[in-house]
Structure 1
Amino acid sequence: MTNARTSLRRLLLIAGILLSGAAQAEEGKSQYTSLQNCETLDHLKLPGRVIEKGDGAGIFRCKGIDDYSVYVIDQDPRSFLVLGKGGKLFSLEKPLLSDFKLGEFPNVSGAQKAEWRLDADGKAAGLIVRVSYMRTDKPGASASALFVFDLRGDPALIGSAPTNEEARGLIDGALGAGVAAEEKLSRECNKIYAELCKGFKPGPEMLGGCYDKRPSIADKVPPKCTADFQTNIENYHEAMGGGK
């Protein structure tokens, strides 16, 4: 059985967020991993295709964070990334090559590192990588931009930016929007719980104790709060010694 004291601390944290609506996300942190001197592979099997080293492509596997692997597919003069996690591969070829609009011959093989933007729990929430390309307005001139991907689900392009500060702002803004939405839902659900549990003393044990006395409140919890409600009830019972 999970240590009751640890579970109670978790319950107190969750309840505090629900009752105060004042959860604060610690954003603005990055972790870096190298995209150079990585392991060379002979092939990489992507959904619908296999990339072979002998087809003129260099295939390199680099270490990421949070069990991510980063594959650099070098098809000189162009290159792109593939992210791997949990046995799945996510090709970024479309946003980095097929849909690239800034110039010609986009490539990431010259990038020294990947920047991983972290969420409040210290987990990878975003990826920033530098993409170099040839300018179309000045033949022979090169330029670069930072591409930003949201990792809270399947990797998805957020946008591009010319500077590190702006690139970080893109992912931090997306994270902030998510946190704000969670806080808003927590406040809304908390009001509903307080109404359903009139007569019970406000605090971290209110909802669990209320449910044990009035199990019918579960039928009155709206769908938007169902997952949150169930998590809190499970944590309450676990903290109280697995009573239910």
Structure 2
Amino acid sequence: MKPPTLAKLKTILFHPYFLIFITPLTYILIGTIYAAQLSTIAFLPFLALYLFLLVNQFLEKIIYIWIEKLTKELTTTLLVTEAINLLLISYFALTYHLLIGLLFILYSILMQGQVYFFKIDIKWFVFIMKAIFKGGILTYIAFFVQLFFIPNTLFLWSIPLILLALIIEITEYPIRTKQINRIKENRFLFLGLLLTLYLTSFFILGLSFGYFSLLLLLSFPAAWSILSLYRTSTYTLSYSIKNRQLLLFSTLFIFSFALIISTTVFF
């Protein structure tokens, strides 16, 4: 029998609302925490950036449901959410840099149009671009809106973050679309990427943080649970459960990463 505290913690971590609201934060957490070590955090751009990602996360779901409907009528929810999205893009383009506005437009197109991209069979383009945005570009922007420059260190740190995002993308798609054969085919690719993720992360973080890089092992139990997704016995589990496992692994890895780069403040 599991201890009550551990069981309660697991319930919270696997709660869909927790994962919905924590996932956008993970895309900008590393850039923001690094900036916080150099200057006081400006909360307005941070909150605006978080809201932009949250809105696009909702738009991704809304568009997917809208496409599945027989009648493609524009709903009030879709129009209002798109309007908020455009306002946030305009804010960053006019306040910080036009390039950020352009990148955010591309991100929105990618997130909302991925269903069509999958239909024309360019899914690997989508996987790679989403990984670059979520692991790299959003990390750089999170830092830039605070201090108006991007340090070379952040480009190096983003390598494992991009790998992490790629692992999530290539695992989530065949599970969501119930492509059992694709899941079987991807298992060696997944193992290779997961091994590369940890080796790369230990090496890159070890250069600056030494033995503190071992804190990444805090995410290893969640990584081990992801391996179960490639077992035949789990193919019948619901997409919701599998997706929560993926998001929890990503979240724990990012927070472990953030804990490591925060050690300079305490030690």
What TM-score comes out, normalization by structure 1 length? 0.22
The answer to which structure has the higher strand fraction is 1
Between the two structures, name the one with larger relative contact order (CA 8 Å, sep ≥ 6).
Answer: 2
The answer to which structure has the higher helix fraction is 2
Structure number with larger C-alpha Rg: 1
